[in-house]
Amino acid sequence: MGVDHLWAPGQVDRPMEAFTAHEEAFIAERDSFYMASVSETGWPYVQYRGGPPGFLKVIDETTLAFADFRGNRQYISVGNLDANDRVALILVDYPRRARLKILARAERLPLDADPALMARVSNPGYRAKPERIFRLKLAAFDWNCPQHIVPRFTEAEIASAVQPLRERLEALEAENRALRGRLAER
């Protein structure tokens, strides 16, 4: 999925109130996002949320949900939702320079409130312990211009990109050892 497929100036007139398969695929690839909430005194607060790729789930064309994992025990976003349920999410694909902004109304649910939803947001094998579920009802979304997004890569992405170079280096080193061995035999 290239940048041209993620954002194009001519696409701003399409409806942004329902996720399409395009947004669903983009969201499913993310392993993190930033979530902004607002305190009862009107101060914004932005928190990083991370998990395994796809931990933020598209439930339907206007609903997202995720298991909220135990973290730094500050609970600021959770507290802010008591006063104001509006949140903004920013999801970034740094290597492809793509950014999706989502405005939503958030609801926090106990883990046992909706067993079907809990099964959906569950991340078997992930080591973090969920404390609650966040269900988000979409208000709107928008794709941002990629112009100023600096590409960044995960350790896994770098390892994958470098692997062919490592294999080639190993082959060359083996060839050099063999050539040295032949020279030593002369």
Q: pTM score, two decimals?
A: 0.80
DSSP H helical ranges for 10-114: 21-29, 76-83
pLDDT at 69: 85
pLDDT at 4: 41
pLDDT at 164: 94
Report helix, strand or coil for 47.
strand
Question: For residues 67 and 55, is the Cβ–Cβ distance under 8 A?
Answer: yes
Contacts of 99 (CB under 8 A, 6+ apart): 7, 90, 91, 92, 93, 143, 144, 146, 149
Joined tokens for residue 186? 């002369």
As a whole number of angstroms, the distance between CA 68 and CA 130 comes to 5
pLDDT at 115: 93
Highest mean pLDDT (candidates 72-76, 118-122, 150-154)? 118-122
Question: For residues 109 and 132, is the Cβ–Cβ distance under 8 A?
Answer: yes
How many helices (H) and strands (E) the chain has is answered by: 5, 7
- Phi, psi angle pair for 5, to nearest 5°: -85, -15
Tell me the pLDDT band of 73, cut-offs 50, 70 and 90: low
> What pLDDT digit, counting tens, does each position of 49-70 carry?
999 999 999 999 999 999 988 8
Tell me the pLDDT band of 186, cut-offs 50, 70 and 90: confident
pLDDT mean across residues, the chain? 88
As a whole number of angstroms, the distance between CA 112 and CA 99 comes to 33
As a whole number of angstroms, the distance between CA 21 and CA 23 comes to 6
pLDDT at 74: 67
> What pLDDT digit, counting tens, does each position of 95-145 carry?
999 999 999 999 999 999 999 999 999 988 888 889 899 999 999 999 988
Assess whether pLDDT exceeds 50 at residue 9. Answer: no
The Cβ of residue 175 has, within 10 Å, a number of other Cβ atoms equal to 10
